[in-house]
Amino acid sequence: MIQLNPDESRVLGVLVEKALTTPDQYPLSLNALTNGANQKNNRDPVLSLTDDQVFDAVEGLREKGLVVRVDTVGSRVHKYRHNAIEVLKTRTGELAILAELLLRGPQTLGELRGRASRMTPVESLEVARGLLDALMTRPEPFVRELPPSPGSRAERYVQLLCPDLHPLDAPPPAASAMAAPSALSRSPAEPSLTERVTKLEAEVASLREALNKLAAALGETIT
């Protein structure tokens, strides 16, 4: 089975993602590939790859047949497109799932269904399960199932093109992101609801008193 190094994994994931999400900007130049590899959203971990590192990754993928260079007449800028569907013999939905695992590491069925849906329609959890089953039951599987992470009951799935790409015992990024707001939801200095209501009532009483004085000066009566 084809094996990738970490930089090749990130670059292949970016090419698959951009081909499906921004087809008007595809194929990608080396600069666009570097920006995609280093973007901060939909990536785990966030990287800071150089152009040279991305170029080396692209060349490695070309040697494996997974990437093709596209030369346009009149342009000095080389562009690149992936050839993964043909080489890996996958369907588009399967490749979207695989790209998500390359870009973000082990994920649950629900996470994969939601995130892969931004690339290609994955109508239900059953459809996502079918895509994963196809990737896991090949003669040389591209994906395998992991036990639930601590504190969760949902199985996770990991890609096998680069088995050491992500730590398998790390908590899922979504869980970490969700835990942070709850821990910081109310700082010790933030007033309670009762305190805020009391303050508002005092402000309303003060405004009412000022309004009554103004009305009296004008010879009006407020009911």
For the cut 70, the answer to whether the pLDDT of residue 40 exceeds it is yes
Pair (154, 207) in one structural domain: no
- Which two tokens mark 212? 């009554």
Pair (101, 192) in one structural domain: no
The span from the CA of 144 to the CA of 51, in Å, is 32
Pair (105, 199) in one structural domain: no
Report the pLDDT value the prediction gives residue 172, as an integer from 0 to 100: 53
Q: Into how many domains does the chain fold? A: 2
Residue 56 sits in a domain whose CATH number is 1.10.10.10
Would 110 be classed as within a structural domain?
Answer: yes
Pair (139, 219) in one structural domain: no
Q: DSSP for 164-187, please give it.
A: TSS-TTSPPHHHHHHHHHHHTSS-
- Which two tokens mark 125? 């959890």
Pair (49, 154) in one structural domain: yes
pLDDT tens for 114-172 read 999 999 999 999 999 999 999 999 999 999 999 998 888 999 999 999 999 998 876 65
Pair (141, 192) in one structural domain: no
Report the pLDDT value the prediction gives residue 192, as an integer from 0 to 100: 53
For the cut 60, the answer to whether the pLDDT of residue 175 exceeds it is no
For the cut 90, the answer to whether the pLDDT of residue 194 exceeds it is no
Pair (208, 140) in one structural domain: no
Pair (81, 159) in one structural domain: yes
Could you give the angle at the alpha carbon of 158 between the alpha carbons of 154 and 160, nearest 5°? Answer: 160
The span from the CA of 110 to the CA of 116, in Å, is 10
Report the greatest alpha carbon distance in the chain.
93
pLDDT tens for 71-127 read 887 788 999 999 999 999 999 999 999 999 999 999 999 999 999 999 999 999 999
Residue 14, domain extent: 6-170
Would 150 be classed as within a structural domain?
Answer: yes
Report the pLDDT value the prediction gives residue 61, as an integer from 0 to 100: 98
Pair (111, 199) in one structural domain: no
Would 58 be classed as within a structural domain?
Answer: yes
Pair (163, 202) in one structural domain: no
Would 177 be classed as within a structural domain?
Answer: no
Pair (191, 143) in one structural domain: no
Would 102 be classed as within a structural domain?
Answer: yes
The span from the CA of 159 to the CA of 144, in Å, is 7
Pair (78, 139) in one structural domain: yes
